[in-house]
Amino acid sequence: MNFRLEKIADLPFYTEGPAIDSEGNIYCTTLSGKSILKIGLDGVAGDWALCECPNGQIILPGGDHLICDSISGSIRRFAADGRWINNELEHSCADCALHTPNDLVTDNSGNIYFTDSIRLGGRVFFHDIDGVDRVVCANLDYPNGLALSPDQRRLYVAESYKNRILKIDLQQRYSEDITVLADLPAHASGKEQDNLPDGLTTDHLGNIWVAHYGMGCVQVISPEGKLLDSIDTGMPLTSNLIFRNNKELIVTGGYEEPGPGAVLRMIIDN
């Protein structure tokens, strides 16, 4: 796989939660920076909305943004112009307390899967547009990034402190089959914090792209769990990623926490 990396923006805060609107504008969150940034097609970055600790983010078909607020235990909804609308979820889901909502993904029906990231007792939740919420899986060691397969039959979860990617078969909606898709390469230091897979996305072929936070790289995993490539991003903390098209990957992260941060563009030539 051939690729080249370009820096889109240098930013004062470590970045997370990349999302792209229908016009191609990039949005990212800043956690301790307490803002969601918008990077226009001209490359200029500016505050788009304020939030206590914004993390994972998605843009819905109608233009609204859903953003995990990791401090307040909520998922917040913002309009396309950055106005806060309401809290989609707050403090609890499926009769369970919410601690640290981290990342989220929506299926073709508008239902939401999201992670609650805590050590050992972490959960993946399902939030139904019809109001029926449930726990998809529990007792995970810091579930983090999420991605759906292109056919929506499988949900992938980064279990950060196990340094692995889980695969959840969604075809049987209320009895999911959860397996380990891949154990990721481990840092030579042997320290857990030097691994920590974070954000996930899938490409049009079904491969899973993993932002490997502690390793400062992107891992590419086949649908069968084979490691296809390992790409050094040059950012020691590589947090999340999203495809803008089949040949362009947007990558967030930074050099330290709380900052500085950056947003990169990876141009892929297969």
Q: What's residue 1's pLDDT? A: 77
Residue 184 is classified by DSSP as P
Pull the structure tokens for residue 260: 């500085």
Phi and psi dihedrals of 261, rounded to 5?
-130, 180
Domains and CATH numbers, the chain: 2-269 (2.120.10.30)
Q: What's residue 265's pLDDT? A: 97
Q: What's residue 130's pLDDT? A: 82
Q: What's residue 115's pLDDT? A: 98
Q: Do residues 9 and 263 touch, judged by C-beta distance below 8 A?
A: yes
Which residues of the chain fall short of a pLDDT of 70?
172-176, 270
Residue 185 is classified by DSSP as P
CB atoms within 10 A of CB 188: 7
Q: What's residue 173's pLDDT? A: 58
d(CA 39, CA 261): 14
Cα dihedral 36, 237, 209, 169, rounded to 10, equals -80
Paired sense of beta strands 74-78 and 164-169, if any: unpaired
Question: Which position has the token pair 């954000």?
Answer: 199
